Amino acid sequence: MSTTWTAARRDLYDRVPGLGMNFTAGYAGGYVTTTDHRFVQAGSLAALERYRGGFLFRPDRAAGDQIRPISDISYGSGTLTITHDGPAWSNQTDTNVEVVALDPDLLLKIYNRGLRLLKNPNLIPLAH
């Protein structure tokens, strides 16, 4: 397994149902949209409601442009729209987005705390 935080985080998404998922999105002011097949297949918002109150995370951006709290989720005509609180993204060209049930900074702290509890001196804490 790769030791990057991105690989570790996405592995957690696969192992822990409802923790998060990554997708490609478009931007417009205070919201993102996607036609990702996983959302379209869900067929309803029921599977996505767990992320209401969660976070949009853009891991490839600068710290001030990475995390926004989710304020609303809507679905219609094959497109998912996720509205966020906070300022509009300063960079709206990066399409790599993750939706996470926990604050991504908290998730990183939890992960690194777990690594410190392991008795292997060769483990290195992860960074964004």
Q: What is the pLDDT of residue 2?
A: 47
Q: What is the pLDDT of residue 109?
A: 92
Measured distance CA(62)–CA(125) in Å, rounded: 20
Q: What is the pLDDT of residues 17-34, one digit of tens each?
A: 889 888 888 887 788 888
Q: Which residues contact 34 (CB under 8 A, 6 or more apart)?
A: 23, 24, 25, 26, 79, 80, 82, 97
Q: What is the pLDDT of residues 61-78, one digit of tens each?
A: 888 889 999 998 887 777
